[in-house]
Each structure stands twice: as structure tokens, then as C-alpha cells.
Amino acid sequence: MKQGTTRLFHLMGMVAWGDIGPFTMYKNKNGKVVVFLKTIPGKPASELQTHYRNRFAAGCILWQMLSPSERDDWNLATSRLSIPLTGHNLFLSFILRPDDQALATINRQSGIDLANPHYDRSHKWRPPGPPPWRGGPPPWARDKK
């Protein structure tokens, strides 16, 4: 079915990737189109996974709220440092994994003063809603025994 479906999409002249109807399509590293039936998760997302999805969504909203000049600054910083990311990708990386030292290094080396995008100085930024864990620190901060 995979080969026939791939031929069908090629005959239709479609150049699309991701989920299309009941199929998922992508191009592998060799340039070959791979098509398979979309799979439905067997279990719901974990609380931590939901937390990071919410954080990612909030980061995308925050990016859209930036002024065009602020977005240009993030893009310019990546190009000045030859970082293989877009400004949007760099911005989201700081939303998902806060790192003041890395941001300070990027500011110093690029000569651009990028604002800390995601939290106040108390380091307590979280997207709206309850935290994904109950009773104590997040799972990655707990002592491993």
C-alpha cells in the first residue's frame, strides 16, 4: 500500500508533508517520499508532556506578540553568530529551557541586547494553568536514588 499511495500522490502532483487525511507523509534523508497510515496514540499524553506542549504554544504566542524589530533582532543574532537556527527557533529554545548564561553569551557575542523572553527575574515563569506535577519539585529536579 505504501508504494501505491506514494505513486498516487506523485501523480496528483502533491508536494506536501505531514498529515494529509488518513496518511502521514515525509521525505527521508535520501529524498524518498515515505507515506504511511496516520497512527493514533494509544494512551493520553503525560502531565509533563502536556506542560511542555503548553509552554511551546505560549512561546509561539509570545513570538507573535514581539514587535517586528524585536523579531529582527533575534534573527540577526542567529545570523551574526552563524547559529543554524532561525530567530524563532532560538527564541523558543529559551522558552522551553531557560538559560540566563547562554542568553548573556549570545547578547555579548552578537552585540545585540535580546530581552529575556520567558520569565521574570524570580525564575517562576509558567504558562497559564496548573503545574504539571503535584507535591514537590518537577520530576527532573527530584533526587535520583
Q: Specify whether the backbone of 111 is left (phi greater than 0), alpha (psi in -120 to 50) or beta.
A: left
Taking residue 107's Cβ as centre, other Cβ atoms within 10 Å add up to 15
Q: pLDDT tens, 114-128?
A: 887 764 444 444 444
Q: Specify whether the backbone of 92 is left (phi greater than 0), alpha (psi in -120 to 50) or beta.
A: alpha
Cell matching residue 116? 529575556
pTM comes to: 0.59
Q: pLDDT tens, 61-101?
A: 888 888 899 999 999 999 999 989 999 999 998 888 888 89
- The CA–CA distances, whole Å, from 34 to 14, 17, 83 equal 13, 10, 30
